[in-house]
Each structure stands twice: as C-alpha cells, then as structure tokens.
Amino acid sequence: MADPTRKRVVVTGLGVVTPLGQGIGTFWENLSSGQCGIGQVTMFDTGGYACTIAGEVRDFDPTPAFPSPKEVRRTDRFTQLGMMAGWEALNDSGLDFDRVNRDRVGAFIGSGIGGLSTLENQHKTLLERGPGRMSPFFIPMMIINMASGMFSLYHGLRGPNVATCSACATASHAIGEAWRTLVMGDADAMFAGGTEAAITPVALGGFAAMKALSTRNDDPQHASRPFDAERDGFVIGEGAGVLVLEELEHARARGARIYCEIAGYGNTADAYHMTSPAPGGEGGARAMRMALNSGGLNPEDISYINAHGTSTPQGDACETQAIKSVFGDHARRLAVSSTKGATGHMLGAAGGVEMAVCCKALETDTVPPTINYETPDPDCDLDYVPNEAREMEVNAIANNSFGFGGHNACLVAKKFTG
C-alpha cells in the first residue's frame, strides 16, 4: 500500500511530437476527433518491402529545441524528436530554469532503438568510401542515451540522468523510475519519457521479417486496428512523449498548473519468450497489480485503461486476459482504449505519448477512442471505446506498456486533490 508520508508527485507539463501533430493541444484535438496519422512511407523507397506504411512525423522542424542549426546536424532524428518533446513539455509546464536548483532537476528520456538511421547511413559510408570518411559524430549520434544527455546539456540540468531501454516499455519505465526518484527525494523535478525514429529501411524490413507488421498497404488509415478481429499486425510509428514530473510542494511553490498525480508504478518481467507475451498476459497482470498496490488503489478505483494494444493477434488477446484477471467483474465496467490505431506503434516513445493521453483524460473527463474497431473478436471482449471519444468521469487511470524481452510496465495516476 502507498505510504501516506511519502512525497507526492504530480504532472505539470506535457510534450508530444507524433504522426497526429506536435504539441499537446493539436495532438489531443486530432486524437479525440478520431483522426489517423498513418500513411505510405515517404522517407525512402519501399519497393519490394512487405510493409510500405507507417506513422511518420511530417514537416518536422527541430530547430526551436536546439541552440543552433549546427547542433541539429550533429544529432540523430530520435534525439531531435526527444529534444522537441522536452521543449514542448518545458513550455507547457511554465518551469523557469533560472528560478530552480538545476542540481535537482533531471531527465530520464529513453529510446528502444536509438540512432538507427545514423547507423545505416554510416555503415553505407564505411562500405562505399572507407573508414576514413566516417563522421566523428557517428557514435554520439547513434547511442541511446543521447536524447536524455543532450536535453540536460542544453538546459544545464545537473540532476539524475538516465536513459532507459526496454523496447516498447521504455518510456513508461522512464516515467516510473523518475516517479521513484522524486518519491525518494533525490530531485525536485524530472523530464521523463521516450523518443523513437525507427522508420528506416533496416527497421521496416526487420519487423516485417518477424511477421509483426500489418500488410494492409492499400488501406493505411485502417491498418492499425487494436482488438479488432481483423487485425494483422502493428504499424510502426515515430515520435516522442516527455512529461514534467514534480514533487508536489515544489509545484505548489511556483503556482504550477497540475494535470494529475502519479500514484503508482509496476515493473515486471515475463521471463518467458524473446518476443511473445506470457500466456494469459501473466507478466503484464503482475505489473498492473504492483502499480495498484504501490498507489494504494483498488481495481474498482480505475476508470480508464490506456492499453498497450498494438493490433497484433496474440498481444491484444493476452492483454485482454490480463486486464480481466486483475480487475475481475470491474473489467466489464472499465473503458479500455488503444490509441495506436491513430498513431501507429511508436515503440520506445509509445508510453510517453500514451501517458500524456492519460493525463488529458483525467483533466478533461474524456477518453480517446480505439479507431478502426469494426469486427468484435471473441477473445477481446471488453469495452474498447470504439471509434468515438467518450465523455465520462475519469478519476483514476492505468497505462500499460509491454516490450520485447518480456518487459512490462504499468503506471497509475489519479485526479489531483489537494
């Protein structure tokens, strides 16, 4: 159970860069109205690929988040997306770095894959032009910690700094571990989330080789269809989601606007298979129970679950089973939706963007829809908020993220009450 004497943690800023738009206002409006950001891949020629569709971030300009255009050129796209999401979160929070102790402000911004585009381009240079023509920035551009590191560098943040990497659970783990850092009193504010830019030739080919991707290439707007009986795999997306988490008294002292309170966090391993979930979603179920317990919440306290819901046949069914095993009869009264029908699966960034969705659900008493839900699946028999957003009382939420390697994360949050 939650310790009533422990420090409380609230969310005061949201930053997103997604296939549905940049900035929490634009993104939330497009998501709530049922729009879809998936289309044909434009970043490279997809001739010969089994899958030719993705959720790209179009017309992206990272320069506002960097000191100069030269610094932009020295970073991979995943770092650029993460920097911009952090910049959006900073602006949304109203935090003034000149009025806080920068020794006590940190960043946990992770990535599941990191600078894959840089790796591909530099490998091509190596083969075609030799090692002497490789960029001296190759390694720092590629490595997964660079979004977190560069955000702290450019803003002079000297507090805790870690880059999580747990596949599709990355951002949720980053937020959960940032929450722990604040609860323990090791920081006053944390920027936490994830970023991913893995729409590249190698990634698209590799995920397709696993038979993980949808091949509904002629109808990209309806390809990602979580929990629908006709789902045939996920659609890869790119983007970033970063939240500003603050210790409550720190937020109060500066008069911050508070979205919600992070109440608990669960982190488990399946210890079962490299890519497949444990039978019945057992590992995910334990993460949900752990999060509820650490937050001092009962299953019936939860109003809405933002599901991992990737649109894969096995994953969606296992998550449904996990929810039913944790919530029992209350599972039938829960609103459960997956926003990946609209954005695609942003891999290591997914949990960050989806936690921002949960914060908006708590703020607005509105839950976003699962778009493209048309044909019920007997194995997926919960209320998935099909196709239209729903106004309802949202008092507490759970956000699920599950990753290859058997990584499971669950975050629970609730309406802030003084």
Whether the Cβ atoms of residue 182 and residue 7 lie closer than 8 Å to each other? yes
Q: For residue 253, give the nearest of 20, 98, 62, 95 by alpha carbon.
A: 95
Note if 308 is an active site residue: yes
Note if 273 is an active site residue: no
Note if 250 is an active site residue: no
**Given 155, 173, 250, 345, the catalytic residue:** 345
* Location of structure tokens 């802030």: 416
- Which tokens in the block code for residue 94? 């109203």
Q: How far apart are CA 7 and CA 407, in angstroms?
A: 27
Report CA-CA distances (Å) from 285 to 220, 267, 402: 32, 10, 11
- Which tokens in the block code for residue 111? 């990535």
**Given 165, 308, 380, 410, the catalytic residue:** 308
What residues contact 275, with CB distance under 8 A and at least 6 apart? 210, 212, 404
Q: How far apart are CA 58 and CA 65, in angstroms?
A: 17
C-alpha neighbours within 13 Å on the C-beta side of residue 38: 32
Q: C-alpha 98: how far from its chain's center?
A: 29
Using alpha carbons only, how large is the chain's radius of gyration in Å?
A: 20
Buried b / exposed e along 366-402 (16+ C-beta atoms within 10 A): bbbbbbbbeeebeebebebbbeebbeeebebbbbbbb
Full DSSP string of 331-352: GGGSEEE-THHHH-B-GGGHHH
Residues serving a catalytic function are: 168, 308, 345
